[in-house]
Structure 1
Amino acid sequence: MSTSGLRVLIIGGYGAFGSRLARLLAGDPRFHLLVGGRSAEKAETFAAGLEGGAKGVVFDRDGDVRAQLALLRPAVVADLSGPFQDMGEDRYRVARAAIALGIDYIDVSDSRDFVSGIDALDDEAKARGVFVLSGLSSFPALSFAAAEKLAIEFAEVHKVSSGIAPSPRAAIGLNVIRAIASYAGKPVKVTRGGIPAESTGLAGGPGMVIAPPGCVPLRWRRFLLADTPDLSLLPQRFRHLQEAFTGAGAEPRWLQSLLMFAARLVRYRLLPSLAPFAPLIHAASRSLASGEARGGMFVRLEGLGHDRQALAATWHLVAEGDDGPFIPAMGAAGLLRALTDGKRPGSGARAAIAELPLGAFEDGFRPLAIRTGIRRQRAGDRRLSLYQRVLGDEAWGMLPPAVAAMHALNDGELRVCGQARVERGSGLLAGLVAAIIGFPRAADDIPVSVTFKAEHGRETWTRNFDGRRFRSRQSEASGRHAHLLAEDFGPVRVFIALVPEGERLRLLIRGWRIFGLPLPLFLAPDGNTFEEQRDGRFHFHVEIGGRLTGLIVRYTGWLEPDQPAMPSSSTSSASRN
């Protein structure tokens, strides 16, 4: 084990977030890690398994903190234990002991009172020449970094909303549940109409689809009000702020609904608190987990752009698999790495909302399955093509030229022609579906044309396979299917994610309905469908099938413009007038 490098004590080092900070820093010779916790056995076992080695040590925050720190002699204390909402009267005892010994201190608290009150230690910290930074977590450090990135585009910010959507498969720690239970159903101070107001912890908030451009969106989630430091700090940052919201959107939905109901019992004093039920909620969240192994986060600003027009911009994040729980430790890891590079924060005690730019967080995301991006809503967005609106600016810019050109029409008509090969499924049900929709018959090499007609933000596609026509209508989905493409084939509507992958645009089914009735996704028509640029020409590969039908149809081929795009008659008339 290396004994050189920056000596960092991670309190809660084998816990949910401390273990992830240790993993993020393990193997880096710039650090000498001390994995601290109450159990010597657990600390030593976890430390022994880290790349590059670390040392497991006993640290009890309820003991003589100053004596323990003096014995361990860290250069930086990183407190990742929690819950910070329940630290008692002497909640800053670790930070005060660190200051007294001249040790720098950071934590990942998302407790509103804890983070907002840390500046009470400012004079002490400055006198000792150390920094004390609280809140290096998703809230408020990452949320503020994203808000600052978005704020550059605004002259006035009127509303800020943000939320975390944890993966239902993530092993959420008991301390996180305890933190949530501490304010469930209790009064929460918010900003409403530009003035202080009051709401209720875990009260229902907005619904949201988290969808970084070019990424398969998360499923729609309802966000419940969370009492985070942002609610105190945002009004200090944005002087035109009218409303602020921070929330959490849990899966499965029945568990969230149950939490909401229990919070109402607390609100109406039918229960004193949910805190005693935290272990039960924690056990249920683990044993009854269901849904996609994906999580996410969003930060949304609304207000006026520099042109004084209405503007909304949202930063989206999606984390796949087990990578999401690393995010609360990313701020601490980023700051410690910057410290070893000679970028030392100024002395004093404060909320950690201006210590790391968004780029520093996103640099840490790159080795993991975490995607981020920004979507904007502006006056005049209807002038953009349908696919450009669904994809967003960033993902639209990823498309190869031939694919982008096929979807650039925002009004009028375009006809393209080419050659195709068609395969049909052999099943009886597959043949029946194909006949109803009008899919072409099997053929090896036939002429094909597609006429696109764009008007009022929608597109009608008329496909002609050697004289056999079928039609569909495409539009931008909204509500629970926001950021998806909706395509109608008669009574069937499918919701499609548009995902650029290199030279391809992949189309993935994310939901479907028949006669407006939602149906299970596992029964949806599906298949390997994509568009690509090959040798400078647009090529398509469309495959439609299902569990019940097998293959229905597969058609592949190429297309190129037969005539330039023609504006619609209404547009032509308007231009003549």
Structure 2
Amino acid sequence: MPTSPTHTILVLGGYGFFGTRICQSLATNQSIRLLIGGRDEDRAKRLALELGLAPDQALAIDANAADLAQTLAALRVDTIIHTAGPFQGQDYHVARAAIGAGANYIDLADGRDFVAGIGQLDALARQRGVFVTSGASSLPALSSAVVDRYAPRFHQLTSIRHGIASGARAPGLATMRGIFGYCGKPFSRLVAGHHETTHGWLDLQRHQFAAPVGKRFLGSCDVPDLALFPARYPGVQTVTFHAGFASASGHLFVWAAAQLVRLRILRSLAALVAPLHRISQHLEPFVSDKGAMFVAMEGVGVDGQALSLEWQLVAAQNHGPHIPCGAAIALAQKLAGGEELPHGAMPCMGILTVADYLAALQGFDVREIAA
């Protein structure tokens, strides 16, 4: 793919919850010509002004436009970062457009089927000589990097349990629509060597995080790792993921609502997403600003003895929402720096190390607790 003196990166949904954070980081890189795109040109222009960018670096772009590939080519985009979720139910129109324009593609998707299925574009991406990856976020980019780091300690890794407890800062409305879309709905996960059915935001449990986070309620979530990890780590018998909110009462409310969906008393929580988002924003000053992530692994160590270890990442000052942005930032910096990333389409695993990921979060109150 032809290169230019500066690497042009378009952040689609660049003024959104995660997009803004990515743009704030990339705007300081002199090797990057940053474009902020989305349906609302006024919002894009306001962010561009805040970041000291030129007015023409803010664009009105519809991700669903039939001529998106032609638009990307005309803009000479080298890499597109797609943050405009929710990804559950989306197709690969944006990724296909990027490939058609000869541009690399990175997304922050958290939809299980969306991330796991990105490989269907592998042949096209290889033909065009571009890098295409999905799930460049906490899951599976960071979670798999953690497992990859510690896997050599195991003769046989049998269990991966992981989860995230958020801080007070409410995610974007699109993110909430995605994660609440499967509240009370059934999905499959691997437990003790068998595929079992659980339900979104049920399977209530409490996990002990490092201080100052402490114990948090968590519920089961349908994430890409549940599909990807059993294939990536042969011999693993259990893969689970749970997530929870900073407010215990808020989490228990969602748990109870998910029960109503499971019992078919409620059809879904779709109608509650917008009011819950507003309420969470109002309650933010009264809820903990601290969140955390954990990855717990069990199996047989290289010495033949049982081995159990746990890695954690703790965030304060409501800096937790920056963590999902780390992979896209790290990958963008690598591409802008001329580093060759693999051609083809793949879930975001085996591309970044934990160190790569955390380097993109320097300056934020994020602390690693290594196993």
Residue equivalent to 2:361: 365
Q: CA deviation at 1:325?
A: 0.9
Q: Is the 8 A contact 2:160 2:297 kept in 1?
A: yes
Q: Is the 8 A contact 2:110 2:135 kept in 1?
A: yes
Secondary structure, counterpart of 1:311 in structure 2: strand
Matched, 1:111 2:98: no
Residue equivalent to 1:327: 323
How is 1:319-468 mapped onto 2 (pairs within 5 angstroms)? 319-375=315-371
Residue equivalent to 2:314: 318
Q: Is the 8 A contact 1:303 1:311 kept in 2?
A: yes
Measure, in 1, the Cα distance between the counterparts of 2:204 and 2:298: 16
Measure, in 2, the Cα distance between the counterparts of 1:85 and 1:334: 24
* AA in 2 matched with 1:374: A
- Whichever of the two has the greater Rg, that structure is 1
Q: Is the 8 A contact 1:27 1:52 kept in 2?
A: no
* AA in 2 matched with 1:191: L
Q: CA deviation at 1:4?
A: 5.5
* AA in 2 matched with 1:258: F
Residue equivalent to 1:160: 160
Q: Which has the higher helix share?
A: 2
Provide Cα deviations, 1:234-277, integer angstroms capped at 9, x if missing partner: 10122221211112111211111111111111111111111222
Residue equivalent to 2:127: 127
Q: Is the 8 A contact 2:201 2:254 kept in 1?
A: yes
* AA in 1 matched with 2:366: I
Matched, 1:230 2:229: no
Residue equivalent to 2:182: 183
Residue equivalent to 1:9: 10
* AA in 2 matched with 1:97: A
Q: Which has the higher strand share?
A: 1
Measure, in 2, the Cα distance between the counterparts of 1:72 and 1:209: 49
Residue equivalent to 2:44: 43
Q: Is the 8 A contact 1:177 1:281 kept in 2?
A: no
How is 1:549-560 mapped onto 2 (pairs within 5 angstroms)? none
Residue equivalent to 1:59: 61
Q: Is the 8 A contact 2:64 2:93 kept in 1?
A: no
Secondary structure, counterpart of 2:136 in structure 1: coil
* AA in 1 matched with 2:206: G
Q: Is the 8 A contact 1:160 1:302 kept in 2?
A: yes
Q: Is the 8 A contact 2:183 2:258 kept in 1?
A: yes
> Structure 1 residues 206, 149: CA separation in 2 closer, same or farther (over 3 Å shift)?
farther
> Structure 1 residues 206, 240: CA separation in 2 closer, same or farther (over 3 Å shift)?
farther
Measure, in 2, the Cα distance between the counterparts of 1:362 and 1:313: 20
Secondary structure, counterpart of 1:143 in structure 2: helix
Measure, in 2, the Cα distance between the counterparts of 1:310 and 1:166: 31
Give the counterpart of 1:304 among 294, 297, 300. Answer: 300
* AA in 2 matched with 1:62: N
Residue equivalent to 1:68: 71
Structure 2: runs of 5+ lacking an equivalent? none
Residue equivalent to 1:142: 142
* AA in 2 matched with 1:32: R
TM-score by length of 1: 0.61
TM-score by length of 2: 0.95
Measure, in 2, the Cα distance between the counterparts of 1:4 and 1:287: 45
Measure, in 2, the Cα distance between the counterparts of 1:110 and 1:53: 32
Provide Cα deviations, 1:272-322, integer angstroms capped at 9, x if missing partner: 111222112211221223322111111111111111211111111111113
Measure, in 1, the Cα distance between the counterparts of 2:213 and 2:145: 22
Measure, in 2, the Cα distance between the counterparts of 1:301 and 1:142: 15
Matched, 1:97 2:92: no
Provide Cα deviations, 1:93-127, integer angstroms capped at 9, x if missing partner: 01111111211111010110100011111111111
Q: CA deviation at 1:59?
A: 0.9
Q: CA deviation at 1:151?
A: 1.4
Q: CA deviation at 1:340?
A: 2.4
Q: CA deviation at 1:52?
A: 5.9
CA RMSD in angstroms comes to 1.6
The alignment-based identity, stated in percent, is: 36
Secondary structure, counterpart of 2:73 in structure 1: helix
Matched, 1:193 2:192: yes
> Structure 1 residues 159, 205: CA separation in 2 closer, same or farther (over 3 Å shift)?
farther
Residue equivalent to 1:273: 268
Give the counterpart of 1:285 among 269, 277, 280. Answer: 280
How is 1:244-263 mapped onto 2 (pairs within 5 angstroms)? 244-263=239-258
Q: CA deviation at 1:51?
A: 4.8
Q: Is the 8 A contact 1:150 1:314 kept in 2?
A: no
Residue equivalent to 1:493: none
Measure, in 2, the Cα distance between the counterparts of 1:246 and 1:364: 24
Secondary structure, counterpart of 1:17 in structure 2: helix
* AA in 1 matched with 2:16: G
Provide Cα deviations, 1:433-476, integer angstroms capped at 9, x if missing partner: xxxxxxxxxxxxxxxxxxxxxxxxxxxxxxxxxxxxxxxxxxxx
Q: CA deviation at 1:37?
A: 1.0
Secondary structure, counterpart of 2:195 in structure 1: strand
Q: CA deviation at 1:53?
A: 5.5
Structure 1: runs of 5+ lacking an equivalent? 376-577
Q: Is the 8 A contact 1:315 1:373 kept in 2?
A: yes
Query: Number of aligned pairs?
Result: 365
Q: Is the 8 A contact 1:317 1:372 kept in 2?
A: yes
